Amino acid sequence: MPPSQKEQIAWILVFLFKVVCCRAVQVKNPIFARVGESADLLCTYSTSATQGFILEWRYAAPGTPAIQAKMLLYFDGRLYWFGSSESHMSLTQDPPVKGTATLHILNLLPSDTGLYICLITNPNDWSGSGQGLINLTVLIPPSVPVCGLNGQVYAGNDVTLTCQSSHGVPAPIYSWSREKNAAPLLPGNMVEDQHNGSLILRNLSAAFYGIYTCRASNNLSYTHCTVNVNVYNTGDTGTIAGVVMGAFIAILLLAAVLGYFLWNSVNNRARQLERRIGTF
């Protein structure tokens, strides 16, 4: 759908602001900070805060166009906060009238990731008006991954070991390892995908037996989970089935014997009762 006339005008204004921002508004971009820590979104300007001077901070979540950024704060001689921004945000210079409009964020949350816009408007000095764009990424250690095994662990089969963390920024890289004393395998017998956390084991044999460890890591930290692989011969299937069937038959026979004795006992008591009644 083509942009509307209002959207076109808005984007033209954004472009014009960008043209002058390089000398009017200075920012540090991008910024990376760890979850739970604090971050300063540096924004300085080179105009005098005369009458009509306005500072705005806006925020757009990842995937949201800058034109749809929501207001965080507004200053026009008085400071106004919007939503819950004031609960963990502040200006390093308050009031922000001496060239510094830096935004300080306490106790960073994953939801703080996104685009921040520092917008300076000064009608008495349009050359000093402009905006700066800052991309903030909140870094998150990988969560403890969940390991799994897909497939039947019989000799000759292929199975897939899985490993996945529910969150982590940057996205975790996954690597698999075996016990130090594990039997060696041919390179083609193990196919690893470090991005989705899978490990394919091809043509299973007794050599695959053991504990497999998946390590999930990013720039901040790492964690792991394990999978225990036991390989069964196809002949074991018949043995196991035979044992199960034998146990099932034994249970049926035992139930039949117990049922017979119970039935016989009830009948004997009934006959004895009839004989007693017949004597009266």
Q: How far apart are CA 116 and CA 118, in angstroms?
A: 7
For 17-33, write each residue's pLDDT tens digit. Answer: 444 434 589 999 999 99
User: What number of residues does the chain have?
Assistant: 280
Instruction: Report the candidate in 67, 54, 29, 40 with the shortest Cα–Cα distance to residue 130.
Output: 54
* Gap between the Cα atoms of 147 and 79, Å rounded: 51
pLDDT at 240: 57
CB proximity list for 246: less than 8 A, separation 6 or greater: none
Report the pLDDT value the prediction gives residue 16, as an integer from 0 to 100: 46
Phi, then psi, of 157 in degrees rounded to 5:
-80, 165
Alpha-helix residue ranges (DSSP H) falling in the chain: 5-24, 234-279
Higher pLDDT, 222 or 272: 222
pLDDT (0 to 100) of residue 163: 98
The DSSP 8-state label assigned to residue 52 in this structure reads T
270 pLDDT higher than 80: no
Q: Residue 128's pLDDT is what?
A: 76
pLDDT at 253 over 70: yes
Residue for token pair 């939801």: 111
φ, ψ for residue 179, nearest 5 deg: -60, 150
| Reported confidence tier of residue 110, pLDDT bands at 50, 70, 90 | very high
As a CATH number, domain 5-139 is 2.60.40.10
**Two domains, one topology: 5-139 and 146-232:** yes
Q: Residue for token digits 């009031």?
A: 95
Q: How confident is the model at residue 243 (pLDDT cuts 50, 70, 90)?
A: low
The confidence score (pLDDT) of residue 150 equals 97
Query: CATH code for 146-232?
Result: 2.60.40.10
The H or E element containing residue 76 is: none
Q: What pLDDT digit, counting tens, does each position of 1-22 carry?
A: 344 555 444 444 444 444 443 4
Least confident of 26-30, 46-50, 150-154, 195-199: 46-50
* d(C-alpha 181, C-alpha 165), whole Å: 28
For residue 250, give both structure tokens. 């034994």
Domain boundaries, the chain: 5-139, 146-232, 236-280
For tokens 């009017």, the residue is 24
